[in-house]
Chains A and B, each alone.
Chain A
């Protein structure tokens, strides 16, 4: 760790998701030195949890691989995983930053052969799959993990399993004595790209996410389609493992609601429209498969209008203009039942489904006012990019600044990169 070199001409990028990776590549390819820190053991962030992108329906793993290769190969980018910013002080052109790196217990000799996982029995929750499944306590975070290196869960340190894992490693890659490390750096500018977390669905109590097995979130639904996910790529109900064919999507679940998130999260309409195509993918022309979207208004704006029209033409998909009042559960079948009023005609409904997907919105992963150093927060806790503070060299990128889809997050990160580069150029010019 001592070989990390940084100066006031270095850009620190916080967060290794799609936004942070974009900002890091853009900055490095413009000739700037970059340190990219990521709290998780792997780069990839939220995008790595998605099954398909809208509107083209391609798989994120493709672009992600290209990004990861560019980053890992670039001599100007230094990646530190399992690392968080502990403290940050200073001003544009001169920040002192303290980083904290959690022990991975696996060093760079790891070849990702997997012998350590084979050797142990302890299992822990798998956060990549929203804890819908467990994995071994010696694990590769995802198949696409960058770096391709195993991690030992701290819960097994000091147990027999840790010793078994170490003994199983042919490459001497397991180091059970690793400790948390602290690192102080000097950097010129910071790009803050800590992204979003899905709004806590349990808080939307009338929808019973905390009580009913067959009420899931849109992000969990993405994981279900992944062949390596908790259901092996099938749309199976959590309560009984049966195929879910009649599926409801509830839009604005916790968004545009003064009791929850006031803002529109922008991506959820398109995400649900996209997810209706998963039914065709899973069941082909099966007449029993259907998707019903409960919505306030569909916000598929601009170039997404075509996609919306295409979904509307799908016989499997229907739309009900209504904010669902509450969900109850049929005691025998565990089917969720949606209650509310269809505002087009004012009809009450009590509609039963196999599975309900809550289109939950975005909360900032890190609240902007907790960052410090004059970073301004907007009313939803994201970084306020419009608060024009000339002294601030910390620039928000991607979903740290607002609820954005991937496309807009990437554009936003490119802009953040340019702002950071300007600070560095100014600093360099003043010194020359």
Chain B
């Protein structure tokens, strides 16, 4: 039996051939080392993401998340739900809190799900958590550090937190203007954090990358510039959307502004997998568009 077990909500970006499938690969490797078992919610659905807030409406959004909650409880009763995607975590946790506070919404949700043959019972004690919380609160830096066999020595990494793991809930005990958990994690893995990275909670533009490319690329430019100014060789993030936006638009930004950005953007789980002795494939490094050469070198050692 695994040391720790959670009900797991992977979310759409982790599916095969999607933008963050390599995130999933590295999470699996990381969890293997940490002896964490993830029980995927059977037949989970979309959290609603930005569309849920923009056009979807409160009830549809809540019902979608409540469906996942009900299926999780049925499959893995009593277990905390863990999400690796920031938006999935935020949407599920927010819906769960709303259901606990709004009786009308709760009754409407129960009614709606009944139509689909699902029985939703509200459990206020249920915890919906981001993987970063599991790492920090349940496992802890010390235990993470004890698994490090290939410290990421000499790599300077900017911890880009983004917005969804940061507001409104955030990681317990962290400042929301200057959260330090990624820096601490980077340090634990033997790399050098960029302590003064001043764009660590700047929004990457999220879904506006499609509809308002100029504005969101302006945001991304700030995030990249600051990382360069402080001498970072790599950016690390806990969010699939942050990872994608900050990575894939570097070429377009270079074209528009005459800059020469070319900096890898990785997930914390990729850093951990490599530091734990995993190879490039296990860390999902093949999924990065801008290759994380330093990580590849360490992984190949």
Contacts and interface: CB of A to CB of B under 8 A. Distances in A.
Q: Is the interface of A mostly helix, strand, loop or mixed?
A: mixed
Interface residues of A, number: 9
A205 B229 contact: no
Interface in B174-227: 175-178, 198
B229 A206 contact: no
Given A328-B198, A329-B198, A210 B229 contact: no
A208 B177 contact: yes
A205 B167 CA distance: 13
Contacts of A69: none
A310 interface: no
A205 B198 contact: no
A258 B229 CA distance: 37
B115 to A, nearest CB: 39
Q: Is the interface of B mostly helix, strand, loop or mixed?
A: loop
A205 B179 CA distance: 11
B222 to A, nearest CB: 11
Contacts of A328: 198
A191 B26 CA distance: 64
Contacts of B177: 205-206, 208, 211, 326
A72 B175 CA distance: 47
Nearest to B175: A205
B191 to A, nearest CB: 22
A211 B178 contact: yes
B149 to A, nearest CB: 35
Interface string A69-107: 000000000000000000000000000000000000000
A205 B200 CA distance: 14
A326 B177 CA distance: 10
A331 B178 contact: no
B172 to A, nearest CB: 15
A208 B178 CA distance: 9
A210 B175 contact: yes
Contact of A210 (B176, B178, B198): B178
Q: Which of B176, B198, B229 has the most chain A CB within a 10 Å cutoff? A: B198
A175 B216 CA distance: 68
Interface of B: 175-178, 198, 229
Given A206-B177, A211-B177, A211-B178, 4 more contacts: A205-B176, A326-B177, A328-B198, A331-B229
Which 5 A-B pairs have CB atoms at the shortest separation, nearest pair first?
A: A205-B177, A205-B175, A211-B178, A206-B177, A205-B176
